[in-house]
Amino acid sequence: MRYFSRRIGFFLLTLWAVVTLNFLIPRLQPGDPAELMVQNLAGKNAQLNRAQVEAMRDLLGAPSGSLLDQYWSYLGQLAHGNLGISYTYYPYTVAQVIGKAFWWTLVLVGTVQILSFAIGVLLGAFAAWRRNSRFDTAVTSISTFVGTLQPFWIALLLIYGLGYGLGWFPTAGGYDESTPGFNGAFIYDAVSHAFLPALTLMIVTPIGWVLGMRNTMIMNLGEDYIKLARAKGLPDRTIALRYAARNALLPSVTGFALALGGVLGGTILVETVFDYPGLGRLMGEAVGIKDYPLLQGLMLLTAVATLVANLIADLLYGVLDPRARKATA
Amino acid sequence: MTTRSFRSRAGRGAVAVTAAALLLLAPACAGSRVADQKQQTKSSSGASGLIPELNLPSEADTSMGGLVNYNPFAPQQTVRTWLFESLMQQNSLNCKVTPWLATGYDWESPSKLVFTIRQGVKWSDGSAFTAKDVAFTFNLAKKYPAIDAAGVWNDTFGAKARSVTADGDKVIFDFTGPAVSKFSYIIAQKIVSQKEFGSVGDPAKYVSKQPISTGPFKVASNNGRRVVLERRPDYWQADKIKVQKLVLEGNYDANQAAAKLKAGELDFYTGEIPNPQKTFVSADPRTNHVWYAANGVTVLAPNLTRKPFDDVKFRQALAYGMDKQSATDKATYGLMKVASQTGLPLPEKQDMVPAKYAGQNTVIPFDPAKANKLLDAAGYTKSADGKRHNPDGSPIKITFSVQAGWIDYEAMADELTSDFRKLGLDIKENKMPPEAVDQQKKTGNFQMMINYMGAGCDYAHGMGATVASSEIPTRTTIKGNVEHYTNPAVDKAIAALGSTTDPQQTKQQVGVLVDAMMTDYPVLPILYAPARAIYRTDHAVGWRPRMTRTPIRRTSRSCGSPT
C-alpha cells in the first residue's frame, strides 16, 4: 500500500510544481500581449497603431494586484475549472477552443499510437525471436534509417507525392465541404484528410517500439527461465509469446502510457504542415501569436495528461510486477 | 520553422484593404474591354458575365473549426474584408480617398468634421442604413473603450471627441481641439447596425453569428472550415461586383500556399512566399502573377544616444557605406527597390517631396570610397589592426540586434554587417526573437537595429512616428522613434500637421521632415517594404494581368482605383 500512496503523493507534488511554473513562465516573458496582438494582426511591415493597442489593452484586461494575489486567484480559477479567455479567439474561452481541437488530435494521434504500439511490439518481438535472420536485419536497419528522418520532412514528401503529384489525398485541413457531425459524408471527408498525417506518423512512431521491444526481448531470451522452458520441451510459440514477449512487454507498457499522455501534446510540426485542426497546430499557433492563456491551458492539459498517464503506468506496474512493489516498500 | 510560418502569414494589415479593392474593382474595370468580354463568353461563367468562384485563404490568422465570430470588433474575425464596411477607403499607397458609406467629408474647422452619409444603402437583412447607425457605432466606442480602435474618444491622434451626432444625412464629429490626424483612422472604422449591436451589451464580448452588414457579400455557408460567401444583388454598388462566390478556406504557411497556388486551388494570397517569381510565376507566367508595391520603408535605426551614432557625420558615412541594392536583392529577390533617404515611399508619394529635392536622386548611392573618406575626415581613423576607433581614441564595437526568423530582415542585416566590416568597423550581429528586439526598443539598450518606418497618410503619425520626440519609446510602450531623435523644428512641423487640413500646408510641413531625413540621417532607409499580392488569373476572367509592369499611379488613372 505504501508504494501506491508514495506514487500518489509524488503525483500531487509534481502537479503543484507544474501549475506554479505554468503561472510564472508567461509572466517572465518579454513583450506586452496587447502590442504583440496588434502587431500580429497588422504584420511586421506596419506601424503599431497606438489607439488599437490601447483598445486591445482594455479588451484583454491587465492583471492587477501583487504577484502573490494573482497566484491565488489563478489557483482559485483553476479549482473552478476556469482556464481563462483566449487572446486570439476572444471572447471564446480557452476551454472552448481546446474542446474544439481536442477530438481531432485524440482520434488521429490516439489511433496512430495504439496501432504503432501493436505493430511495433509485434515486429520487435518477431525480430528478436528470429534474431540475425534476414527479417531481423531488414527491420532493424530500416527502423534505424527512418528514425533519423524528421517527421515534418516526411510529411512534405507525402504532400508533394501523394497529395499534389498523384492527387490521391487532400493535403490540408481536417475536412472540407461536409458538415461536421455523425454522418457518412463527414466521416469519409475526415478520414481522407487524416490519411496523410496518419501515414506520416505511422512511418515514424512504431520505430521506438520496434527497437525497444527487440532489445528487451533479446535480453529476456538469455534468462534462465527461458532455458528452463526449453529444457521442459515447451513449444517455441509458447516460449516466444507467453514467456519472453510477455515479460519484455513490461517496460513497453510504461512507455505506452507515457506516449498516450503525450498524445495531447500533439505533434506540432506534423499538424502545422497539414493545417490539421488539432491540439498540436493550436499549440504552435499559440506560441507564435503569444496567446498566453491558451498556451497555459494547453501546457496544463499536456502536463496533467502526462502525469496522470505516468501515475497509471506506475500503479499498473505495481500490479503487473510484484518486484516493483517490494523494492520500494 | 513554426514561428516563421506565422510571421509570414501575418502579412496582411494595410494589404487587406488593398487586396479587397483589387478583387472588387479590377475585374470590373477591365471587364469593360471588348477583348476581355470575348474571353468571358468562352469561360464557364456564361451569359451572366460573373466569375463563378474564387478561392482565397481564410481571413482569420487562426481558425479553429466552429468558433465563428463575425463581430468586426473581435481580434480574430471569421471574415474581415467582405462583410462590414467603413465610411471611406483610403489607398494606403497614394493616400487617395474613395467615398464608400460616406459620399463626402468636410473639415469645417480642424476640430469639426462632417460626413455626408450615402443614401439607399441596405443592410444585409433588408433594412435601411442611415446616418444614425454611423453615430451609433462611434458612440458605442465611447461607452466601451475596448472597441475604440480609431482612438476617437482619447487623445492618441489629436484632441478627443466631445460628441458624435447624426443630423439627417450628416454625421458631425465635434472635437475638443485640433484632431485632423484622426481622419485616416475614423474613415477606416467598420460601421455596425444599431439593430444588431443595440442590445448585446459589451460589443467586445459579443459573438456575432448572424451578422447584419452592408458589404458586397453575405455568408452562404460555413462548416467551420470552408466559408462560402455569396454576392449580394442588393449591394449598393452591386454592378461592380463581378464575383458570384468567394470561398475562404485554410491557414496556409508559405510552402502550402505556394503549392496550392500552383495547383490552382488558391487564387490569391498576400503572405510572404520566398522568391515567388521562381517558385510560382515561372511555372506559368500567363496566369501566375505577383504584385509588389512600396508601402513603407525598412530602415536601419542606429541608437543616437550612443557613441559613435550620436555623430551625424558617422551616420552619413554609414549611409554611403551600405550596399542597399545587394541587400534588397537578397531580402526581396529583386522584387522591391532601394529606398530614398527622404523617408517617403517613391514614386508613390513623389507629390510630397519638397521642390528643392525634386530633380535629385534622393537614393544615397553605394560609395565605399566616399564612406571611408567621410570617416577619416571625421576622425574615425583606423588603428594598426585595421579597425576604426572613435576620435577620442576609444575602440568602436557595434552589436547589431536582428529579429531572428524574419528572413528578409536577416538577409538585410547580413549584407549590411559585411559592408560595414569592409569600412573597418568592428561589428557583430546578435540574432534574437523579435519580442526581445521589441524589448530593446523599450529599454533603449541597443546600438542598431532594423525598423519599419511607415509613411502613412496621416504624416504626423506615419512618417512623424519615426522622428517626433514625443514618439520615443517608453519602458511600457513601443513607439516609432526607436533611434531617440530630437529636433524642435521637426516637432513643430508635426504639431502643425495635426491641425491643418490644407494640402499645401501639409506638403510644406512634410518637407520639414524630409529635410531632417536628408541632412540629419536619423535613420538610414534600406528598401521599400511591400504591399503584396500573389495571384493567378485563370479563374478570374477579366483580371488585369501583370500589375508589376505598370506603375501604380498609371493603373489607377485608367481604371478608377484598383489599389
Residue tagged 503619425 (cell numbers): B461
A25 touches chain B (CB under 8 A): no
Q: What's the confidence (pLDDT) of residue B167?
A: 95
Q: Is A201 helix (H, G, I), strand (E, B) or coil?
A: helix
Q: What's the confidence (pLDDT) of residue A326?
A: 67
CB contact under 8 A, B151 and A50: yes
Q: Searching chain A, which residue's CA lies closest to the CA of residue B464? A: A47
Best of B4, B55, B64 to substitute, by most chain A Cβ atoms within 10 angstroms, is B64
CA distance A25 to chain B (A): 15
Show residues of chain A in contact with B206, CB under 8 Å. 91
Q: Searching chain A, which residue's CA lies closest to the CA of residue B158? A: A51
CA distance B249 to chain A (A): 9
Which segments within B73-199 are labelled E, that is strand? 88-90, 97-99, 102-109, 112-117, 161-167, 170-175
- List of long-range contacts for B141-148, beta carbons under 8 Å, 24+ apart: B141/B189, B144/B202, B144/B203, B144/B204, B145/A54, B145/A55, B145/A58, B146/A55, B146/A56, B146/A58, B146/A59, B146/B73, B146/B202, B146/B204, B147/A55, B147/A59, B147/B73, B147/B203, B147/B204, B148/A51, B148/A54, B148/A55
Q: What's the confidence (pLDDT) of residue A74?
A: 86
Find the distance separating the first CA and the last CA of chain A, reported in whole Å.
8
Work out the average pLDDT over B443-465.
91
A180 touches chain B (CB under 8 A): yes
SS3 annotation, B500-554: CCCHHHHHHHHHHHHHHHHHHCCCEEEEEEEEEEEEECCCCCCCCCCHHHCCHHH
CB contact under 8 A, B204 and A91: yes
Work out the average pLDDT over A97-101.
88
C-alpha cell at B539: 479563374
The DSSP result for A22-52, as a single string, is HHHHHHTSSS-HHHHHHHHHH-SSS---HHH
pLDDT tens digits for range B175-192 = 999 999 899 999 999 999
The confidence band for B542, taking pLDDT boundaries of 50, 70 and 90, is: low
The DSSP result for A285-328, as a single string, is HHHHHT-HHHHHHHHHHHHHHHHHHHHHHHHHHHHH-HHHHHHH
Instruction: Centre a 10 Å sphere on the Cβ of residue A138 and count the other Cβ atoms it contains.
Output: 11
C-alpha cell at B223: 462548416
CA gap B49, A130 in Å, rounded: 71
Give the range with max mean pLDDT: A57-71, B32-46, B235-249, B540-554: B235-249
Q: What's the confidence (pLDDT) of residue B451?
A: 95
Q: What's the confidence (pLDDT) of residue B255?
A: 82
CA gap B82, B80 in Å, rounded: 6
C-alpha cell at A264: 495531447
Q: What's the confidence (pLDDT) of residue A33?
A: 80
Best of B15, B62, B155, B475 to substitute, by most chain A Cβ atoms within 10 angstroms, is B62
Q: What is the mean pLDDT of chain A?
A: 83
CB contact under 8 A, B154 and A288: no
Q: What's the confidence (pLDDT) of residue B550?
A: 36
Q: What's the confidence (pLDDT) of residue A328?
A: 52
Strand partners, B53: B245
The confidence band for B62, taking pLDDT boundaries of 50, 70 and 90, is: low
Show residues of chain B in contact with A159, CB under 8 Å. 256, 259
The DSSP result for B131-163, as a single string, is HHHHHHHHHHHHH-GGG-TT-TTSSTTSSPEEE
Q: Are B493 and B509 in contact (CB under 8 A)?
A: yes
Burial pattern B9-45, b for ≥16 Cβ within 10 A else e, equals bbbbbbbbbbbbbbbbbbbbbbbeeeebeeebeeeeb
Range name among A223-232, B57-66, B371-380 with the lowest pLDDT average: B57-66
Best of A48, A49, A176 to substitute, by most chain B Cβ atoms within 10 angstroms, is A49
Show residues of chain A in contact with B61, CB under 8 Å. 40-41, 88, 285, 289
Sheet of strand B217-222: strand arrangement: B51-56, B243-249, B226-231, B217-222
pLDDT tens digits for range B111-130 = 999 999 999 999 999 999 99
B498 touches chain A (CB under 8 A): no
- pLDDT over threshold 50, residue B19: no
Q: Searching chain B, which residue's CA lies closest to the CA of residue A279? A: B64
Q: Are A325 and A3 in contact (CB under 8 A)?
A: yes
Show residues of chain A in contact with B250, CB under 8 Å. 172-173, 275
Q: Searching chain A, which residue's CA lies closest to the CA of residue B6? A: A288
A10 touches chain B (CB under 8 A): no
Q: Is A118 helix (H, G, I), strand (E, B) or coil?
A: helix
Report cis status (omega within 30 of 0) of the bond before A91: yes
B3 touches chain A (CB under 8 A): yes
The confidence band for B543, taking pLDDT boundaries of 50, 70 and 90, is: low
Range name among A195-204, B466-475, B492-501, B553-562 with the lowest pLDDT average: B553-562
Q: What's the confidence (pLDDT) of residue B554?
A: 31
> Nearest by CB to B452, which of A44, A175, A273?
A44
Percent of chain A with pLDDT over 70: 95
Q: What's the confidence (pLDDT) of residue B65?
A: 67
Of residues B156 and B18, more confidence is placed in B156
Of A215, A292, A270, which Cα lies nearest the Cα of A248?
Answer: A215
C-alpha cell at B508: 510644406
CB contact under 8 A, B62 and A179: no
Q: What's the confidence (pLDDT) of residue A289?
A: 77
In a 10 Å sphere around its CB, with 0-12 CB exposed, 13-18 middle and 19+ buried, how is residue A224 labelled? exposed
Residue tagged 548611392 (cell numbers): B365
Work out the average pLDDT over A231-248.
83
Q: Are B514 and B344 in contact (CB under 8 A)?
A: yes
Q: What's the confidence (pLDDT) of residue A268?
A: 82
The confidence band for A167, taking pLDDT boundaries of 50, 70 and 90, is: confident
Q: What's the confidence (pLDDT) of residue B488?
A: 96
Of B295, B108, B93, B112, which Cα lies nearest the Cα of B186?
Answer: B112
CB contact under 8 A, A45 and B295: yes
Show residues of chain B in contact with A50, CB under 8 Å. 151, 156-157, 477, 479
Q: Searching chain B, which residue's CA lies closest to the CA of residue A98? A: B64
Of B215, B175, B172, B174, which Cα lies nearest the Cα of B193?
Answer: B215
Of residues B240 and B36, more confidence is placed in B240
C-alpha cell at B295: 508601402
CA gap B451, A39 in Å, rounded: 13
Q: Are B123 and B222 in contact (CB under 8 A)?
A: no
Q: What's the confidence (pLDDT) of residue B394?
A: 92
Work out the average pLDDT over B77-105.
93
Q: What's the confidence (pLDDT) of residue B29?
A: 34
Show residues of chain A in contact with B59, CB under 8 Å. none
A178 touches chain B (CB under 8 A): yes
Tell me what percent of chain A is helix, strand and coil, each rounded to the nearest 5: 75, 0, 20
Q: What is the mean pLDDT of chain B?
A: 86
**DSSP 8-state secondary structure symbol assigned to residue B449:** E
∠ CA B562-B458-B440, nearest 5°, is 110
Q: What's the confidence (pLDDT) of residue A161?
A: 85
CB contact under 8 A, B76 and A89: yes
Q: Are B214 and B129 in contact (CB under 8 A)?
A: yes
Report in angstroms the alpha-carbon separations of B134 from A86, B156, B329. 30, 21, 46
**DSSP 8-state secondary structure symbol assigned to residue A265:** G
pLDDT tens digits for range B275-319 = 999 999 999 999 999 999 888 999 999 999 998 999 999 999 999
Strand partners, B86: B190
Strand partners, B291: B533
CB contact under 8 A, A47 and B251: no
Q: Searching chain A, which residue's CA lies closest to the CA of residue B248? A: A176
Query: Dihedral (C-alpha) B190, B195, B196, B198: value to the nearest 10 degrees?
Result: 90
pLDDT tens digits for range A182-213 = 788 888 888 888 888 888 888 888 888 888 88
How many CA atoms does the CB half-sphere of B379 hold within 13 Å?
9
pLDDT tens digits for range A271-320 = 888 888 888 888 888 887 778 888 889 888 888 888 888 888 887 777 77
Best of B225, B280, B435 to substitute, by most chain A Cβ atoms within 10 angstroms, is B225
Range name among A167-181, B231-245, B290-304 with the lowest pLDDT average: A167-181
Work out the average pLDDT over B172-176.
96
B160 touches chain A (CB under 8 A): no
Q: What residues 64-103 of chain A have any CB closer than 8 A to a CB of chain B? A: 87-92, 96-97, 100-101
Find the distance separating the first CA and the last CA of chain B, reported in whole Å.
32
The confidence band for B207, taking pLDDT boundaries of 50, 70 and 90, is: very high
At A66, give phi and psi (nearest 5°): -70, 165
Show residues of chain A in contact with B160, CB under 8 Å. none
Q: What's the confidence (pLDDT) of residue A60?
A: 82
This model of the complex carries an ipTM of 0.78
Percent of chain B with pLDDT over 90: 65
Q: What residues 282-311 of chain A have any CB closer than 8 A to a CB of chain B? A: 282, 284-285, 287-290
CB contact under 8 A, B75 and A87: yes
Give residue B135's Cα distance to chain centre: 27
B395 touches chain A (CB under 8 A): no
